[in-house]
Structure 1
Amino acid sequence: MTAIYLVLAYLLGAIPTGYLFARFVRGVDIRTIGSGNIGATNVLRAFGWRPGLAVMAVDMAKGALVAGPLAAWLGVAPGGWLAAAGGLAAVLGHDYTVFLAMRGGKGVATSAGVLLVLAPRSTLATLALFAVVVRATRMVSAGSLAGALGLPLFLWLLGERQAPVLCLALLLAAFVWLKHIPNIRRILAGTEGKISFGRRPDEAAGAAGREEDTGERR
């Protein structure tokens, strides 16, 4: 049962939502647009806020389904070590999807979905921090990095510090920072791409095309 859960968790996380949206709804390969990113941020820049938020929501749902309904269906104890391992498998599936030759995203939304089930209060606080930082800086990467730092602190302060959940949160936070190393370099250099609230999709796509990073995936 453990192996089945982890395999299903990986495969569910590996569904490349942004790529599928762009391919089957818009008829394009998202990897050839803007930054080449397959995640919600590049979808937002290329096609607008609604598609971007929809992709983000589905990526979050993948993580939530693994930590919630899938775990319950297979009799996995909520908040235990196996549930945490399943959440990690889902994020790894998103980041290294077998459906796109092991190239995927950066796992931020899928991580949020997992932790929204395992530690809802702390995750909601983290999402609020993410939104505030993105609004202030207009950089999704900055919001993601701030959220990764804030989540373990919120877990401790809000009493959701069960060992499996806290260990998973620390691991995912470290992983988010590792995946964002190119973004960190651009932030420090002042060249990180920014979103513009209310910008038309074609203008946003043009801005994304000026980003330096074409190899990393959110």
Structure 2
Amino acid sequence: MVKTILMFVAAYLLGSIPSGVWIGKKMYGKDIREFGSGNSGTTNTFRVLGFKAGVMVLLADVLKGTVAGMLPYLLHSDLNPMVVGLGAIIGHTFPIFAQFKGGKAVATSAGVLLAYNSPFFIFSVSLFLIILYFSRMVSFSSMLALLIITPSSLMTHDWILTTIAGILTIFIIIRHKENIKRIRLGTESKVPFGYGYKKSKKDSQ
């Protein structure tokens, strides 16, 4: 019991590391929560600080989930890694190191899945990228991918994975409520690539 609590606390603290906030402040002198969507996650980092910073935050956020998911393996515990990984997901969303104002936990959730089931992780990321290519909206791609991933996880015959995937789908859709409003209004930000994207003169300069 004590080991379980310690693992969950450790996972929460890992998830609480505000990668976007720290990288923005230390390397760019900006608090990304004051720009763009006001979110501290990967997508807003790409939007506000650019490609290099976005990649660093993406890798850091995925790594947080992966390390958290590996804790049961490292500590020789029988506790399901997905359950421990929930600590990192909660930490990323409500980080103690950033006034409990965090991101939407998509990248960190992917990191937990990577530690737990790498083939299904590859399937999930591939699905997300395909949807992103055609929609050009990260928020829409995240939500639709999860809506497909949850029933698809039934093929793994792993009820814990399916249950947690279902919980995360509901949670992440709720976290994207403002994005859903913008999608309906046709004002949601789109990535500068993918189907139908035309490079402008400004982009080529």
- Provide the TM-score with structure 1 as the length reference: 0.83
Between the two proteins, what is the percent identity of the paired residues?
35
What CA distance in whole angstroms lies between the structure 2 residues aligned with 1:102 and 1:47? Answer: 22
Deviation at 1:72, TM superposition (A): 2.0
Q: Which has the higher contact order (CA 8 A, sep 6+)?
A: 1
What CA distance in whole angstroms lies between the structure 2 residues aligned with 1:116 and 1:146? Answer: 19
Q: Which residue of 2 aligns with 1:216?
A: none
Structure 2: give runs of 5+ residues left out of the alignment: none
Q: Which residue of 1 aligns with 2:8?
A: 6
Deviations 1:177-199 (A, max 9, x none): 11111111211121111121399
Deviant stretches of 4+, over 6 Å: none
Q: Which residue of 2 aligns with 1:110?
A: 108
Deviation at 1:175, TM superposition (A): 1.0
In the comparison of the two structures, how many residue pairs are matched?
Answer: 196
What CA distance in whole angstroms lies between the structure 2 residues aligned with 1:136 and 1:44? Answer: 19
Q: Which residue of 2 aligns with 1:52?
A: 54
Q: Is the 8 A contact 1:16 1:97 kept in 2?
A: yes
Q: Is the 8 A contact 2:82 2:113 kept in 1?
A: no
Q: Which residue of 2 aligns with 1:187?
A: 183
Q: Which residue of 2 aligns with 1:26?
A: 28
What CA distance in whole angstroms lies between the structure 1 residues aligned with 2:60 and 2:9? Answer: 19
- Aligned pairs for 1:173-184 (under 5 A) are 173-184=169-180
What CA distance in whole angstroms lies between the structure 2 residues aligned with 1:124 and 1:27? Answer: 35
Any idea what SS the aligned residue of 2:28 has?
coil
Deviations 1:91-113 (A, max 9, x none): 00000001111110100000001
What CA distance in whole angstroms lies between the structure 2 residues aligned with 1:152 and 1:17? Answer: 27
> Which deviates more from structure 2 when the two are superposed, residues 83-92 or residues 13-22?
83-92
Structure 1: give runs of 5+ residues left out of the alignment: 205-218
- Aligned pairs for 1:1-218 (under 5 A) are 1-68=3-70, 70-77=71-78, 80-81=79-80, 83-157=81-155, 160-197=156-193
Deviation at 1:14, TM superposition (A): 0.7
Deviations 1:65-111 (A, max 9, x none): 1111x22232222xx44x22211111000000011111101000000
Q: Is the 8 A contact 2:16 2:91 kept in 1?
A: yes
Deviation at 1:47, TM superposition (A): 2.2
Any idea what SS the aligned residue of 2:6 has?
helix
What CA distance in whole angstroms lies between the structure 1 residues aligned with 2:170 and 2:121? Answer: 16
Letter in 2 for 1:154: S
What CA distance in whole angstroms lies between the structure 2 residues aligned with 1:155 and 1:39? Answer: 26
Deviations 1:112-152 (A, max 9, x none): 01011212222211111111111212111011111211212
RMSD between superposed Cα atoms in Å: 2.1
Deviations 1:33-70 (A, max 9, x none): 222221111111122223212211110111011111x2
